Structure 1
Amino acid sequence: MNHDDLNHWSKRAADWASDYHSHLRDRPVRAPLTPGAIARQLPAQPPEAGEPMETIFADFAAIVPDGMTHWQHPRFFAYFPANASPASMLAEQLANAMAAQGMLWQTSPAVTEIEQVMIQWLRQALGLPEGFTGTIHDSATTTTLSAILTMREQATAFASNISGLHASPRLRFYASAQTHSSVDKAIRVAGIGQDNLIKIETDAQFSMRPEALNSAIAADLAAGFVPAGVILCAGGTSIGAFDRIGDCIAVANRFGLPVHVDAAWAGSAMICPEYRGLWAGIEGADSIVFNPHKWLGVQFDCAVQFLRDPTPQVKTLGLRPSYLETAGREEIVNFNEWTVPLGRRFRALKLWFTLRAYGLEGLRARIRNHVAWAEEACADLAAIAGVQITSQPSLSLFSFALETQAKTEALLARINDDGRIYLTQTLHEGRYVIRVQVGQFDCTRTDVQMIAKVVAELMT
């Protein structure tokens, strides 16, 4: 295949994509397959000779779409959507065509400088104060790891990168049980150890209790441990819980501890000023992560980290051997020094296209609709006999259950086998419940109303 062939097949692919999106509502959201069904359709050995693209494309069309869970389906109400607006898709095509490796400013100046500007656009859009800067990671998991590694180094006077943790006192980190499992993973990967992640009790609203945080830090200091950092939750994955951000930051400040805030899905909603009370006090955080790929229509992967001061993170993650130097530009920003990977994709391009194509008002309108439609769906479900609302809407996320776990599990299985909508489960206060999250970029009110319709039908 050469570039002339690419020109032809890119047009074919665009036609296929248009048809795919036009008929998504006709497909089941989740593939009704058993494990191994796709693998059995592929040859066991790789081809010795090249095959015609006509054959390859035909196999793709015959095998792949029916084997997918369709994340762009307008009735995808599971997890959180990995949205891809048309403008974002176009930007990804262009980024893929250039195939730049933006590890340094000099390897593609536009990659670095557009990223810098997009961070500032988003900072303004979310109402964060001047002074915050940041970078783009692949996911919130990597972002949180970067923040925790930085906290670890600050707590050890930047010695553990050199000497290892064996030479350091026992470090302690603090988070609520509503934080995402990526926090636990980062604690493990950073060498801290799961036992040193202290889960702070929450109040009736499932928010971290500041007084409990204060007591836990004080007790650890008395025991000879070294508190290293606090991780707060702004929109938990399970039921959408928000910690009392400002109050908890005040406690962390009392002990001189840095704070990272996980706002992976809910952070996007903060482009709407009326929701910012949910994370009041956020300006005191040292690190914040939110995923434009979850609710702003920017194609996966795109996780934005805001930093009040990037210096500690660059000191933690930055390495500059001679082959990564830019002659005469010692003070230039090289974003590989802000993140774990050396290699960097041109992720800022899809942010630039999306923000310009829809504008903040267009994106706000979508988010406001999703929140309103989720509240309607919750009320419609509550009106169905036997359905119990187990957590009220937090922005566009809520949960429900039937009277027993067995009935709830059976209902969820019927819903997802039916294919018209897709929902997932969580454990809430020890109870198996079904999550509903409204946030797919192209969903309509009619799509969201389908939730209660399907549940009512499948309960009879």
Structure 2
Amino acid sequence: MAERPNHMSSEEFRQAGYQAVDWVADYMVRLGEFPVKSPVEPGDIRAMLPADAPAHGEDFADVLADLDRVILPGITHWQAPGFLAYFPASASGPSALADLVSSGLGAQGMLWDTGPAVTELEQHVLDWLAVEMDLPEKFQGNGVIQDSASSSTLCAILAARHRAGGIDALPNLVAYTSEQAHSSIAKGLRVAGIPDERVRLIATTPDFAMRADHLAYEIVNDQKNGLTPFFVAATVGTTSTTAIDPVTEVGWVAENFNAWLHVDAAFAGAAVLCPEMRFLNAGLETADSYVFNPHKWLLTNFDCSAFYVADRASLNEALSITPEYLRNPASESGAVVDYRDWQVPLGRRFRALKLWFVLRHYGLEGLRAHIRRHIAWAAELTEWVDADDRFELAAPTVISLVCFRHKGGNGATQQVLDAVNQSGRAYITPTTIDGQLILRVAIGSPQTERHHVEELWNLVQSAA
């Protein structure tokens, strides 16, 4: 007779769960003690792991102990107060607990029928956000949670391709985006069958925003050559400098040439919860789709990308395939949303639960306070940079990203970067624009306080 698997009993799960939650809670307290960026070399973690998988189950306490021994040395601590790199991937207690509940439920939300609460909660919290962020009314009732802005952009591209004639139209389709746009746009276009030579990178202003006049010129030129402009991607908060494309003007161009306008506000979009930041919404009434990531700045654990589309028909028709085993009375009635038709994969997790927990724990005012603190500290850091004769700002500080460089050139800037990151107290990442190395300080970690920003500035000054 086959051996029985050693499933945890309810009581064993309860006790192991207490231990795991204690470990995570202790980790949150210890975050400031670790080097922010992992110091390990390639292969170090694998060298600590046994060559063969365990033949028999081990005690949970031993597994938990190896989190400290094996895993923590190889973790770059994204939640650390000194993490000022990339853009934040903010976690929080309520969100982590929601992920635990979601994992315990093990719900599969591909259809309304396979998990009515999974679908309807997602619809509801995304409508909450659409209202509180003052998004155009056409996006209400048309939101979906994707795993990332990259997937959201790919879905927008596929919907745009479908509207432009589908696969048959591919040889003539042309797409447009800023030369400062995120690489996921070019990657999504490749996946959708648009080769690099039919992707136009539009020139930018001195503040790194897309030039609508250059966009119009490129589109007119392509039309003269018998090509079909089908997709324009604008960015509200570029990765390098958080530049803001002029969505109103870009949208006017896209609309006049019947091209789909997708707006990527992956990081910056969360700021719009604050009424004083609503200028970031300018022009959204012209957009066909819009994305921002609660998992960046809204205290919701990765992965949670909020994607809104005005014309759900193009998206659903591009992605819907219905074999017999997925048919059910609710779907056939047309009265429900089946989110499988809003994404590339079939299966989907219960991501809305963590967004719901976060909104209910913090409330809108709590989330606004979280965002406003970071914006204020970024403004203060900008003043410090501006007052130091050794440094110069490399771009306007629009939200909570501060970009600057050493006046001594790339070598001096690299020296500052290396000193900061090797200190273990902070971690920042650079970008390069027009051959110049630029330091990016992205303030957004939930653990960061003003004195951590001040400590970072002291490290920068010491290294200069």
Q: TM-score range by the shorter chain?
A: over 0.9
1:50 equivalenced with 2:57 (yes/no)? yes
User: SS at the partner of 2:175?
Assistant: strand
Give the Cα–Cα distance (whole angstroms) in 2 for the partners of residues 136 and 451 of structure 1: 35
Helix, strand or coil: the match of 1:38?
helix
Partner residue of 2:435 out of 430, 439, 442 = 430
Which residue is equivalent to 1:273? 275
Of the three residues 368, 372, 376, the one matched with 1:368 is 372
Counterpart of 2:120 in 1: which secondary structure? helix
Task: In structure 2, give the amino acid aligned to 1:136.
Answer: I
Query: Matched residues in 2 for 1:268 and 1:391: separation?
Result: 21
Q: Give the one of 432, 452, 456 matched to 1:451.
A: 456
Q: Specify the SS of the correspondent of 1:49.
A: coil
Report if the CA contact (8 A) 2:429-2:439 is conserved.
Answer: yes
Give the partner amino acid of 1:144. T
Q: 1:136 aligns with which of 113, 131, 145?
A: 145
Deviations 1:292-351 (A, max 9, x none): 000110110000101112110000011111111122541121001011111101000011
Aligned to 2:38, the other structure's residue is in SS state coil
Q: Which amino acid aligns with 2:225?
A: A
1:189-234 per-position Cα deviation (integer Å, ceiling 9, x unaligned):
1110111110111122221111111111111000111111111011
* Structure 2 match to 1:320: 322
Once the two structures are TM-superposed, the CA of residue 5 in structure 1 deviates from its matched residue by: 2.0
Name whichever of 385-394 and 19-28 sits farther off: 385-394
Shift of 1:454: 1.3
- Counterpart contact for 1:240–1:398, Cα < 8 Å: no
- Give the unaligned 5+ runs of structure 1: none
What is the TM-score of this pair, normalised by structure 1?
A: 0.96
**Residue 2 (1) aligns with residue 11 (2):** no
Q: CA deviation at 1:238?
A: 0.5
1:60 and 1:278 map into 2 onto residues whose CA distance is 41
Contact 1:377 1:451 in 2 (8 A): no
Kindly indicate whether the alpha-carbon contact (under 8 Å) linking 1:102 and 1:343 is maintained by their aligned counterparts in 2. yes
Structure-2 separation of matches of 1:417 and 1:407: 15
**Paired letter, 2:164:** A
Kept in 1: contact 2:269–2:280 (CA 8 A): no
Distance between the aligned counterparts of 2:438 and 2:138, measured in 1? 41
Counterpart in 1 of 2:397?
Answer: 393
Name the CA distance, whole Å, in 1 between partners of 2:230 and 2:304: 27
Number of residues of Structure 1 aligned to a counterpart in Structure 2: 452
Q: How far apart, in 2, do the equivalents of 1:67 and 1:213 lie? A: 44
Q: Deviations over 1:147-200 (max 9, x none)?
A: 1111112112x3x1xx5x6xx442100111111000010011111011111011
CA contact (8 A) 2:112 2:331 kept: no
Please tell me whether residue 33 in structure 1 is matched to residue 40 in structure 2.
Answer: yes
Q: Corresponding residue for 2:110? A: 103
Tell me if structure 2 keeps the 8 A contact 1:174–1:199. Answer: yes
CA contact (8 A) 2:271 2:371 kept: yes
Structure 2 spans left out of the alignment, 5+ residues: 1-6
- The structure-2 alpha-carbon separation of the partners of 1:355 and 1:378, relative to structure 1 and needing over 3 Å to count, comes to same
CA contact (8 A) 2:415 2:463 kept: no
* In structure 1, C-alpha distance between the alignment counterparts of 2:389 and 2:38, rounded to whole Å: 30
Q: Partner of 1:70 in structure 2?
A: 77
- The corresponding residue for 1:378 is 382
Aligned residue in 1 for 2:97: 90
Please give the secondary structure, in 2, of the residue aligned with 1:15.
Answer: helix
Is residue 221 of structure 2 the alignment partner of residue 219 of structure 1?
yes
Q: Aligned partners of 1:275, 1:54: CA distance in 2, in Å?
A: 48
Is the CA contact 2:118–2:352 (under 8 Å) kept in the aligned structure 1?
Answer: yes
> Do the aligned partners of 1:72 and 1:440 also contact (CA within 8 Å) in 2?
yes
Whether the aligned pair in 2 keeps the contact of 1:235 and 1:263 (CA below 8 Å) is: yes
Q: Does 1:145 align with 2:154?
A: yes
Q: Distance in 2 between matches of 1:348 and 1:258?
A: 27
Which residue in 2 is equivalent to 1:243? 245
